[in-house]
A and B are shown apart, each in its own frame.
Chain A
Amino acid sequence: MKIGVYFCKCGTNISDRIDPQKVMEEITKLKDVAYFETVDFLCAEEGKEFLEKDLKKKKPMRVVLGACSPRDHEKTFMNVLSKAAINPYLMQMVNIREHVAWVISDICKASDKASAYLKGAVARVQLHEPLKPEELNVCPDVLVIGAGPAGLKASLSLTEAGRKVVLVEKNPVIGGMPVRYEEIFPNMECGPCMLEPMLGDVLHGDNSENIELLTLSEVVEVAGYLGNFIVKIKQLPRYVNPKKCIGCRECIEPCPVSAKNEFNCSLDERKAISFAFSGGLPNFPFIDDKVCIRTKGENCRLCEDACIVDDAIIFDDKEKVIEKNVGAIIVAVGAELYDCSNLTNLGYGKLPNIYTSLEFERIIASNGPTEGEIQGFGKKGPRSIAIIHCAGSLDKNHIKYCSGTCCQSAFKFNQFISKKLPNTKIFHFFKEISVPGKETFQLYNKALNNPDSMFIRYRNINEIDVSIENGRLAIHYSFSSGKRCKSTADMIILCPPVIPSSDTAELGSILEIPADRYGFFEELHNRVDSIQSKLKGVYLTGSCQSPMDIQNAMNQGLAASGYILSGLPEGKKLEIEPIIASVDEERCSGCRVCNLVCPYKAIDFDEEKAKATTNSVLCQGCGTCVAACPAGAIKGNHFTVEELLAEIQGVLT
């Protein structure tokens, strides 16, 4: 075999510390080494040009490069090999700079070590196989799960780039949590006004024909991998035909039954046929068959009778299972709030006038249960309102982390209350204050400067006791010194932390993506790759990945669409790195050890043949299964048993 060896002097970085002459003498002794070239700067433009020409001229069958770290320049030289029409995997790079020249002061020892490494490479490279990236046809369409800020932004940016999106939303309305807020921090913009243009674009914008919106829907099954997922979506019947309904609301009034309205945090009731809240989009009602008396056998048609168009109400609408083929999946299912009834001393759910932040959002919303009025306290409103921050956050008995958004909601409420009820005193009970970034401190400052607001730092949420005294809410708490104190309020707003939604675990198991220690979906890397899940082709956006504000949720939606536009190019084939594992069926004994050790679920088991097979798209080439297979039936490309044994032998002898 004709092997060409190149020795980069790296200026004098290498050649001052390793004697090229001595190394050459050692290496040219080896039987298959055809030539040994010394180059000044292999990675410089002239160096690469020289290498390309020399390779073309000498046509070696294998190439060994003694130079710097392959982590720096392996790709550089692989490209040069490709240009010289040599398969780039027929090369082995030896790190004689970082691992030898720079760390060994004795030139004799350094030269010996460099020779040993080169011998290992010469032994190994002979066994290298020409490898080619596998090419795969992919589906460019995308499934987005959840139509909150994150999912909407992702859908819009993908369709703007010409992609097709299937947008699955569990609720009858889109917009996620923020469509329920009257005002949005930090700039106190009107929530519905801020979001409506986006919702409008999704429903009937320029690219809306490329968004297939499925409301009242959930993903129930997912199979496949990046480029090729098959997804099953269950859609509940709406009983209202969106193509006919004009959203006039005539049907609501006559409906004879009602139930608690979960879209208003159950603070009021809705009819069996209803809108989630006024202004909710898409603008047509739904029939809740758990409430409607027709499902109990009665022949009520009052809503249909009231309907002013024909066939808008479809009593025999059925649950559907819809199958879709997509290339990537964006998860944007949002989060929930920690259940404040776990904070037993605070009286939530037992005493009157104690609300969570989300409930208070609905109370102050003009499309909420009281149309924005804080009722029950006469014309002047409540004398004082207590806002309890960190209601369960940063506490080892409840939620360990800080959600980073609750203080901002608290100061938003301060603003709102002082505008709406100028005579009301506001107490902020806090453990810590979190107002990061360039804007959020402003609301905090306003609250600080508000003569009607007071800040009280408590020691521990578990030491706060709320009770009724003289018809008002008495709040007993401890200062950091331990001293007990009491304040009185007419209303309490609890700001609990954001926690993973109750759907997260189930959806995670459907998608086969893991959760982190708090139950949020786990990112591939929390700094470098927080948008990618641990499964290739599944992206995480918004507060299902971590608590965040709307700005970040939108940014993540954009980031995910960027990943997809660049990583899953339409009309192109997906190139799959050839450094992956493959199973030799003959040798596979069907023991499934590989199934257990693979961190990427890249190994399937063919039950019929009782053999393992690897999935080249999912495989990341770590080689764990190769090392684990007791039958030696798995080959790890470019790091085969034979190649590594040859390298070990070459280096040591």
Chain B
Amino acid sequence: MSRSPDSSTPAVETRGLRRSYPGPRGAPEVVALAGVDLRIERGEVFGLLGPNGAGKTTCIKILNTLLFPSGGEARVAGFDVVREANEVRRRIGLVSGGENSGYGILTVRECLWMFSQFYGVPSSVAWPRIDRLLEVTGLTPLARTRINRLSTGQRQKMNFARGFVSEPEVLFLDEPTLGMDVNAARMLREFVLSWVRERDGRTVLLTTHYMAEADQMCDRIAIVDRGRVLASDTPAALRRSVQGGQHVELEVREGGAAESGSIQAAVGVPVVWGAPHPERGTRTLKFRLPEGGVLGDALRALEEIGVAVQGISTRETSLEDAFIHIVGRALDDEGAE
């Protein structure tokens, strides 16, 4: 039905992609994308990783022909998203996590069938495919339940299945596992990976806030912040970009007199605060000890400025470390500069 993928063109290509939104009443406009260059090859699982407001969803909306860019160029499967929107639409699928979409009056199965019809999938192909997707998402027992009777997570799963009924060439998953329980999220991650592997030249562009998800699923990752791509590489290469050394996590007592500034000076490298543990009255302090650095020296320096260390752990470089190194802050400490 649809033309076979032309493997010579990348699945997604953007050049200098920009988008701004008018600011609220007189305020300056919000720049969501400030010149993004991406090149995603056929057959890749590609991740966009970035803090809230980085511009990930905006980028996906533009690639899905929902939103015009303010500048630059974007192509999906070789077609321009502005001038050749209809060609793009034949080849894409979209799943947005964390929303409550669906025709409440239809059953799960009917809703999926209907969308398959919107994509011109013959019913004889659509029904077995739908049954398989219901199985994968664990919705088989709910197949004949009306959508307005589903829980949020169940709707989410149906929405996920909807993205696959047309077997799109390029699939956009915007935080697909948001709001799902741990087991469901893991099953669906595995399903996406096998879906891509079993088919030739299918591409997935994924955004997520879960580092492990990005690490496990993506062939390549672009780290975005404030509308710019800061780095783009394989997870392994991103990890490697944080040269050697040791990652240290200290559990320190809260309420010490020392500030981040003096702590940083004492340790001699940038530090990041992690989650507090109110039940123990402590908080996690993370930093990367450079190669050749001696942990004992750092601990002594901290003791001198009155930081009480209650626990120590060290580990290998993770994707999160790379993220912190590149973005300058952790994914979860929102707005921290």
- On whether the two chains bind one another, the answer is no
* B→A interface (CB under 8 Å): none
* A→B interface (CB under 8 Å): none
